[in-house]
Amino acid sequence: MQYLHTMIRVSNLEESLHFFCDLLGMVEISRKSSETGRFTLVFLAAPEDEVRAREEKAPMIELTYNWDPEEYTGGRNFGHLAFRVDDIYALCEKLQANGVTINRPPRDGHMAFVRTPDNISIELLQKGDPLPPREPWANMENTGTW
């Protein structure tokens, strides 16, 4: 058995691509639109998984954009997507500077949570050992849920 991808439905494709690619740094691997099915699929990979994603078609996130408007409500049965990052503080600073709420700040230099434009929870984990605690993160309170 091999893990292939996780599909999430998005209500605004451009906004979601901005979040995942421009802010998180993921890479678009492929895109398929269906006029008859009225949807667009965009497959993304983390930069360190790009070669595998192109060669093996895994591991990836599939963004599914249905052209006809739908309201998506998240269920508690879906937890979150998790990514290992090179510098959790730098990424959280970038996300926050671009209007993303840091729901669970990286107080411990190891873990943070944010949400996508469609309210999907994203866990960010520091690669290697936790970074030394530092401000403004060390004393920042949680915001909302993750």
Instruction: Write the CB contacts of 19 (distance below 8 Å, at least 6 apart in sequence).
Output: 100, 116, 117
DSSP character string of 128-146: SSPPPP-TTTTTPPP-S--
Residues of the chain by 3-state class (helix, strand, coil), percent to 5: 20, 30, 45
Catalytic residue among 50, 71, 123, 135: 123
The question of whether 123 is a catalytic residue gets the answer: yes
Report whether 29 contacts 60 (CB < 8 A).
yes
Q: Which residues are catalytic?
A: 123
